[in-house]
Amino acid sequence: MAKLYFSYSTMNAGKSTLLLQAAHNYRERGMTVLMYTCAAYADGPQGAISSRLGICEPAELYSDGDDLFQSIRDHLEADRIDCVFVDEAQCLTRKHVWQLARVADRLGIPVMCYGLRTDFRGELFAGSAELLSIADTLREIRTICFCGSKATMVVRKGADGLVVSDGDQVSAEKSDYISLCRKHWEEAIGHWPVNGPEDWLEVANPRPV
């Protein structure tokens, strides 16, 4: 039985690189893959998945109102599909996730999703939350904080270089994000004073990173 997979991490952990490598492995064995990425991150009408190593592959774009099950079924009528890959899976809606689950369950095609688990506020993305709930296989892709501990959180920098605690959940500028461990994330957003009394601060004070 085909499965729905979710590989998640913070920023700069190499998610897109791993996706492109997995897709290459399928193609190397004569198989056909179909790739999707979020339209919110696209530079133009043509979608692409790119890694920080300079690898880039064309991909279909998806937006909030799209029916991914129907889109994949339409592609299947024209060509064989051995695996579906979805980048920026945190941007999926709950409906999208269930549509992808149906691709695995009804069409027998494995679906491999890659994305962030939480946003810069420490809250689960809707797509990630649904994938964590119903995906058959979960995998954490690890990276490290500047201190050497495992990075599990991200902060977002504003135009002034300071950490921000509000704004849109999705930003197209990936360079605005820094991956941190939980301890340093809490300090960066101002919930814990770096050099002060050990008390909880209700209001986050932006701090430079």
Residues identified as active-site? 88
Per-residue tokens: 189: 């957003």
201 vs 190: CA distance, rounded Å = 7
7 vs 10: CA distance, rounded Å = 11
Which conformational region is residue 107 in: left (phi greater than 0), alpha (psi within -120 to 50 degrees), or beta?
alpha
135 vs 180: CA distance, rounded Å = 26
Per the CB < 8 A criterion, the answer to whether 11 and 178 are in contact is: yes
Per-residue tokens: 84: 């579906």
109 vs 49: CA distance, rounded Å = 20
